[in-house]
Structures are given as structure tokens and as C-alpha cells.
Amino acid sequence: MSLDIKKNHSLKAHNTFAIESVADTFVTINSEEDFVEATSQFGDAPFVVLGGGSNLLFDQDRIHHPVFWINTKGIQKLQEDDNTVVVRAMAGENWHDFVLWCLQQGYGGLENLSLIPGSVGAAPVQNIGAYGVEVRDMIDQVEVFDLHDKTVRNFSANDCEFAYRDSIFKRSQHRRWIILSVSFRLTRHKHQLKLDYGAIQQTLQEAGLENPAIQDVSNAVIKIRQEKLPDPKVIPNAGSFFKNPIIGAETFRQLKEKYPDIPYFELPDNRVKIPAGWLIDQCGWKGKNQGDSAVHENHALVLVNHGHANGDEILALANSIKESVMHRFELSLAFEVNLGSEAVFSKD
């Protein structure tokens, strides 16, 4: 068995921002055996793990660490009972294609997460979520490769320490585990539809669907996302660039007094989530350009590349937005997108 290794390989096609960055060494991982061989061949040197590149900003023109592109494929049913099924998908599977496969089998739970770009392996890292659903609610186990002792182990959902757009895998001090596959526990018959978030209910009503099926919910989500968000294949972007800030009730009360029209979502533990897109829009950023980097004209949460922006230029725009939101609202925006310079894995 020999690894597929390329030198001086362009990463433009491997990130949805279409940033031109070059990898000194690019290794395609088509199987778990490939990964074990790659980590052995390159010794203990740090490396970068790349999946679908949908939540990543290459902020360097050149990547000197080896880049391991996870391209593992495969979906299998592990077990089922009267109303649930556990399905395992390899990390390199396209996320949306996997959701559609589940829907075709009649498996429910992931329909609200339709059309999210990226790979299955990236889903737990970000704890991806949309329209009132987070992927952690369906995850049964995450299979990982431990760089410390070169073994494979399984994490339960609790082990993953999921939080809002966060998990143990996203934190730099824990970049010792590489996700190999993810198992999901889904429903077979008695599906628990989540319809009360965003425009799903309205979209279903407009389609005349009073008793929607899981496929109907997926279609509604796809329609909403296509109308609301730019297609990365047409206008390169990484989706939502910032997380929605979560604040305490007292801080929110003070904001509400100053900005009566501020939108919000109440959370448990006396906390409130504020839409970052609204904050950015109020600061006048929607549709604004800085060279070829820009804020999308229809969605202030999405930064786009209009052709030739590099990672530094998009990062500079993002930081300018953060500064203006802090200045006006005294709220700190955190990046949802990962920076390539920080996505380095090591056994140490």
C-alpha cells in the first residue's frame, strides 16, 4: 500500500472560500489504514487535517506542515430496534449527501441540518446546528484516532463536551484526536419534527403541507437556505463567519433598554442569544466591500470572496467587523470559522 502524496499542491479547490494557498505536502487519506500509515511515515511532525474546507479560512499563502485530506467513504447501518437506528458514516462523506441518504432510508433527525456544507467528520467538531437542531442531539459515538498512543477509540456524546458551535475536538489543547467516523442514532417511524424555528413553519404552510414528512422539512430547509445564503460554488464563502453571542439576562436587559428592537432567543440558565447578523447589520456592514473581500448583501453574517481576496484580507475585514460591534454594543463576536494557521495537530 502506498500513499497518494502530492508536492506543492493548490488548496483552492479544497476550501469553500476559494483561497489560493499551497501545501508543501498534500496527502490523500482514503482509508483508516492510510491514516495510520501517514502518521507513521511523517513521524511526530505536526500536520493539518482537511475535510470539506467549508468552515475554514486559510490565512497563510503556504502551508509548510503536511496536509492530510480526509477522503474516507462509507455508510453502514450498525443496529436498529422498533423506532431507532444507528448509522455510521466515514469522516470523508459529504454531509448533505449523507443527510439525503438518511432521508431516503426513512431515517429522521437530521432533516433540519440539510444543505449544510462540509463533511461528516467536521460535524461534531463544530457541533453544527440550524433551525433549532444541533447535531449533538443525534450523535451516538465518534470514532477517533489518538495521536498520543496511535490507537482507535470511541467517544460518547458526553465525552465530546458539546456546546454551542463547540466541542472537545475544536479546542487547541485537545488536537490529539482525529475523527475517523461518526455514528448517529436516528428515528425510524415516530419522528420528532422541529418546526418552530425560523421560517420552516411558514415555508411548509405556503407549500400547503399541514402534516409534513421528514423529506418535506428537509425540502423547506433547503429552500430557505438557498434563498438566504449564497452558494459557495457561485460566490465563495464559508457560511456564517461569526457565532451568535450568548449573554446574561442582566446584560440583555441593558441592551434592550437602549435598543428596543433587538431580536433575541431565550436560552436555559437565564441566558439570551443575540443574532450576530443583526448586530453587524446595525453597524452598517451589510454589502460592504474591502477589495475583493465583502459582507454579503443579503446576509450580514456571511463574508464572501468576490474573486481574488486572500485569507489575510478576509481576516482583516472580520476583525474590523468585530471592532465595530464591540464599539457600538460592547459585545464580543467570536469566529465560527476556523483559521488554517491554528488547525495544526500534533501528538504533543
What is the C-alpha separation between 293 and 306, in angstroms, rounded?
6
Catalytic-labelled residue, pool 181, 183, 240, 293: 240
Quick one: residue 128, left, alpha or beta (phi over 0 = left, psi -120 to 50 = alpha)? Answer: beta
Q: Is 276 helix (H, G, I), strand (E, B) or coil?
A: helix
Give yes or no: 156 in active site.
Answer: no
What is the C-alpha separation between 72 and 98, in angstroms, rounded?
13
Catalytic-labelled residue, pool 136, 165, 175, 185: 165
Which residues touch 152 (CB under 8 Å, ≥6 apart)?
Answer: 32, 143, 144, 145, 146, 180
Q: Which residue has the cell 438566504?
A: 228
CA-nearest of 123, 213, 137, 101 to 167 is: 123
CA-nearest of 232, 267, 237, 272 to 255 is: 272
What is the C-alpha separation between 273 and 265, in angstroms, rounded?
5
Give yes or no: 165 in active site.
Answer: yes
β-strands 84-90, 75-80 pairing: antiparallel
Give yes or no: 240 in active site.
Answer: yes
Q: Which of 303-307's residues contact partners 24+ apart within 8 Å by CB, and which partners? A: 303/237, 303/238, 303/241, 304/230, 304/235, 304/236, 304/237, 305/17, 305/18, 305/19, 305/235, 305/236, 305/237, 306/235
Q: How many other CB atoms sit within 10 Å of the CB of residue 327? A: 9
Which residues touch 251 (CB under 8 Å, ≥6 apart)?
Answer: none
CA-nearest of 338, 299, 304 to 18 is: 304
Q: How many other CB atoms sit within 10 Å of the CB of residue 337? A: 21
The catalytic residue positions are 165, 240, 336
